[in-house]
Amino acid sequence: PVRTGFARVSVLGAVPAALKRAGVPISAPAFFGLCALLAGVTLVALTPLIGSAGAALVALASGLGVPLVALRIRLRKQADALVAQLPDALELMARGLRVGHPLNASIGAVAQEMADPIGTEFGIVFDQVNYGDDLPEAFQDFADRVDLEAVHYLSASIGIQHGSGGDLARVIEVLARV
């Protein structure tokens, strides 16, 4: 695919996915518009005080640097929360499987009973499976969305178990402990 606009710059091209992963409800163009607005306000406010060259540097740093750092902090908090919730979600899922609930019902229980961000992510997996996606594909999409090592391990484990058969509850319990 041909990359256009901001996507040509690797840091800026990653912003749309980062906004989505961080749960920020604005589009990339709106984000960059707010960055430009912040830079413009900073430039206008500082030009009389420190001159145009200094104001331009500060405006660039505040207009692009501050929002990108804030986005990175939000991403880190979101990832930390998801990783902290993952063992509990997996234990809940394994308990459901142990008592005889179907896999999709166990995924749905996690989606309903767990707080965000894990509840929302499992809700997406639940919907994907309900609408016909294969379980390994739904978990791979989850791993791609959140891009966390622990979730990639979960996705790979579910994919292997799904293809070979076996005790999924045991695999999930082991992953919860790890």
Inter-residue contact 176 to 87 (CB < 8 Å): yes
pLDDT given at position 142: 93
pTM for the full predicted model: 0.74
**Cα(39)–Cα(60) distance, rounded to whole angstroms?**
6
**Tokens 């509990």 label which residue?**
88
Burial grade of 124 (CB within 10 A; 0-12, 13-18, 19 or more): middle
Structure tokens at 171: 């695999």
Q: What is the pLDDT of residues 96-145, one digit of tens each?
A: 989 988 888 999 999 999 998 999 999 999 999 999 899 899 999 999 98
Q: What is the pLDDT of residues 49-94, one digit of tens each?
A: 888 888 899 998 888 889 989 999 999 999 999 999 999 999 999 9
**Cα(178)–Cα(94) distance, rounded to whole angstroms?**
14
Any idea what DSSP says for residue 8?
G
Burial grade of 15 (CB within 10 A; 0-12, 13-18, 19 or more): buried
Structure tokens at 43: 């430039």
Helices (H), 61-102: 66-98
